[in-house]
Amino acid sequence: MSNTPEELTNHSYDGIQEYDNPLPGWWVWLFVGSIAFCPFYWAYFHAGIPGRSIHDQYNDAVAQNLRQQFAELGELQPDRATLLKYLDDKRWLAVGESVFKTNCVSCHGPSAEGKVGPNLCDDSWKNVKTIEDVAKVIAQGAGGRAMPAWGQRLHPNELVLVACYVASLRGSNPPNAKAPEPEAKVIPPWRG
Residue 23 forms part of a structural domain: yes
Residue 42 forms part of a structural domain: yes
**Shared domain check, 84 and 34:** no
Residue 36 forms part of a structural domain: yes
pTM of structure = 0.69
pLDDT of residue 138: 96
The CA distance from 78 to 43, in Å, is 45
**Shared domain check, 81 and 145:** yes
**Shared domain check, 102 and 29:** no
Q: Under a CB-based contact definition with an 8 Å cutoff, are residues 150 and 103 in contact?
A: yes
pLDDT of residue 6: 64
pLDDT of residue 173: 87
Residue 65 forms part of a structural domain: no
CATH of the domain at 79: 1.10.760.10
Residue 85 forms part of a structural domain: yes
pLDDT of residue 135: 96
Regions in the chain scoring below 50 on pLDDT: 1
- Strand ranges in 46-187 using DSSP code E only, listed in sequence order: 124-125, 185-186
**Shared domain check, 166 and 123:** yes
**Shared domain check, 20 and 103:** no
Query: Shortest CA distance to 191 belongs to which of 78, 88, 97?
Result: 88
Residue 63 forms part of a structural domain: no
Q: Which domain holds residue 147?
A: 75-186
The CA distance from 141 to 159, in Å, is 12
Residue 64 forms part of a structural domain: no
Question: Domain total for the chain?
Answer: 2
The CA distance from 121 to 114, in Å, is 9
**Shared domain check, 175 and 98:** yes
State whether residue 25 is helix, strand or coil: helix
pLDDT of residue 2: 52
Q: Which residues contact 3 (CB under 8 A, 6 or more apart)?
A: none
**Shared domain check, 92 and 38:** no
Residue 129 forms part of a structural domain: yes
Residue 51 one-letter amino acid: G
pLDDT of residue 141: 93
The CA distance from 129 to 133, in Å, is 6
